[in-house]
Amino acid sequence: MTGNHRGRCDLLLLGAVESEIFPMVSRLARVRRRSGPFGDTWEGFWGDLQVTAAVTGIGKVNAAGATACLLERWAPSLVCVVGSAGAYSGGPLRVGDVLVASEVVAGDEGVWESRGFRSMRAIGIPLAHDAGKPLFGRYPLDRSPWYRRIREITPVGAFGTFHIRYGPLLTVGMVSGDERIALERFSRYDAWAEDMEGSAVAQVCLRYGVPVLQCRGISNPAGVRDKAWWRLEEALDHCHRVLQRWLDAGLPAEETENGTEAPPSWNGRSP
């Protein structure tokens, strides 16, 4: 089905590639497929929740463009990004664990001089604003009621055979190609893992005032390119298990004090 569809959904589920969302799409009821400028979307229901799932493509440009287009078309109450990530050896994550991002960090923006790298904060140019406050590439995701709710549903610690951690995720255009680069990024950005789309989705959602959650299964140590060490399928399976627990608990509906449902803004304040 084609056309310039406009509608609403409770949850917009995003993955960079098909394998990151298809296992969840297969569990939706009454699925309908549509085509659009950034590829196909799948609409369905998880219980009473209306879910739209889409593949953004790899990298920040694809992720930003697809997210903006999908927010315009679907006006979701909540966005959730799922997929895999590489963990920095200095952090607490191990292959098979799941990282739920408390914040995402834009890792490529700044100035690269002969004497070293200078961040957007160092040069005084913000990438975005939140309620008038400048943001220089660190986007907090832990201020919405939905983030607080998922910490109750899936607290830090063991979840079956793996662990769930809540912490910072770094987004880069080029993933770490060796352990030296990975260590330098871990030291510079104080993040636990790296991906290629997270900050772009967060920045676009901030512009639209839509809260976002990001859940990443750890598939490999960052900087290790030998795929004999990678466990991508296991990482995605664990990520999907966590997401399924959230959905079974009733996300993204959020009760207000008077008992009605109202989506908060990106930073947790009512619009």
| Per-residue pLDDT in tens (0 to 9) along the chain, 271 residues | 345 667 889 999 999 999 999 999 999 999 999 887 888 899 999 999 999 999 999 999 999 999 999 999 999 999 999 999 999 999 999 999 999 999 999 998 888 887 878 887 888 888 888 888 988 899 999 999 999 999 999 999 999 999 999 999 999 999 999 999 999 999 999 999 999 999 999 999 999 999 999 999 999 999 998 888 899 999 999 999 999 999 999 876 554 333 334 444 444 433 3
For 114, residues 6+ apart whose C-beta sits below 8 A from its C-beta are: none
Q: Which two tokens stand for residue 112?
A: 């690269």
Distance CA 268, CA 210 (A): 9
pLDDT score at 253: 54
Residues 6+ apart with CB under 8 A from 186: 88, 89, 90, 91, 192, 222
Question: Could you tell me how far CA 47 lies from the centroid of its own chain?
Answer: 23
Gap between the Cα atoms of 127 and 129, Å rounded: 7
- Domains recognised in the chain with CATH numbers: 11-248 (3.40.50.1580)
pLDDT for the residue 227: 86
pLDDT at position 119:
80
What confidence score (pLDDT) does residue 110 get? Answer: 83
Report the predicted TM-score, pTM, of the whole model to 2 decimal places. 0.89
pLDDT of residue 254: 52
66 three-class SS: helix
